[in-house]
Structure 1
């Protein structure tokens, strides 16, 4: 009986020494406030370009255009879809001067492995190669369907991250601009499409 009594007392002592653990909630990062602009599904095609003022400050931020380039050596024509940024307006560039095609909720931040933010960027999104043998689409954005182009504005040595939502219709040959969003809070990472 002493054996059971001793075991019960030992168990109560151990249970009494155990501290109540308080579970601390994990802080959820707060997304910065954004300024959004509906781009009205504007269609950029040969002869139709669009210049955007993403943050609505009266200064042009970037432009989308299409140009037809003839290549007599390769005996093809190239219908090229471009975006270019202005001074203190940055696009991500890789070593081939291409910008990544982001999915909804991908992070847009200061560092993107394999890419560097550059102002006055001239990015070839995609191109249609037209030849006697048929047509072929090339480039990272050739299958874009509501994808996000990362964008950055520099003001007073602060960075404001944002995105432009776009699609490409390869049947009609039109780049469709849906909407844009830019952080109103400096130096904060944002989620594409958020």
Structure 2
């Protein structure tokens, strides 16, 4: 009789332990903030402090470059100090709502801490009025870029929503969200669990 009670108690403990493991663990909440549709243009850059800790994380600008082809107005996102942008060798990755932003970027993507190109307006030297837009972010309507940044010893993973208005020659920054990297990958555009 004692063996039967011991066996029953062991099974009950085992079932309780298994049921605790199978429950999903709560994920850290996203932090979110609106960027109030700030516009980035030539001579009007914007420095983004994602978590408002007095350390700028990403600098958005439109830089000019001249060469034999003509004048290039390059829309760029520069990751500062402790931040990185999800990119390919030639540009910032343009994500759709719901796309996964991974902790470790799969090839050919990488977490890049340097200047990252979004798109370019080319004003040809031969005919400056014949402008051409080039790049993945041309006419983007609320698309997402992946971002990683550090605060002290902690790393955070998140997204920044942006659009490129080709009629007005500007980039528009809408909002951003992030959470601790220990929670794993995030979904572009997601801000609630």
Which of residues 123, 127, 138 is equivalent to 1:130? 123
Matched length? 165
Show the counterpart of 2:5.
none
- Pair member with larger Rg: 1
Is the alpha carbon distance of 1:35 and 1:70 closer, same or farther for their aligned partners in structure 2, counting shifts above 3 Å? same
Q: Is the counterpart of residue 47 in structure 1 residue 43 in structure 2?
A: yes
Show the counterpart of 2:96.
103
Show the counterpart of 2:146.
150
Is the alpha carbon distance of 1:31 and 1:165 closer, same or farther for their aligned partners in structure 2, counting shifts above 3 Å? farther
C-alpha offsets along residues 101-121 of structure 1, whole Å, 9 cap, x if unaligned?
A: 0111111121232111133x2
Aligned pairs (5 A) from 1:60-99: 60-71=56-67, 73-74=68-69, 76-96=70-90, 98-99=91-92
Q: Which has the higher helix share?
A: 2
Structure 2, gaps ≥5 residues long: 1-18
Q: What's the TM-score, normalizing by structure 1?
A: 0.77
Shift of 1:28: 6.6
Shift of 1:30: 5.6
C-alpha offsets along residues 127-165 of structure 1, whole Å, 9 cap, x if unaligned?
A: 001121711111111131100010001245543111110
Q: What's the TM-score, normalizing by structure 2?
A: 0.78
Show the counterpart of 2:16.
none
Show the counterpart of 1:139.
135
Q: Check the 8 A contact 1:168/1:175 in 2, yes or no.
A: yes
Whole-angstrom distance in 2 between the partners of 1:141 and 1:151: 16
Structure 1, gaps ≥5 residues long: 1-23
Q: Check the 8 A contact 2:103/2:181 in 1, yes or no.
A: no
CA RMSD of aligned residues (A): 2.0
Is the alpha carbon distance of 1:84 and 1:135 closer, same or farther for their aligned partners in structure 2, counting shifts above 3 Å? same
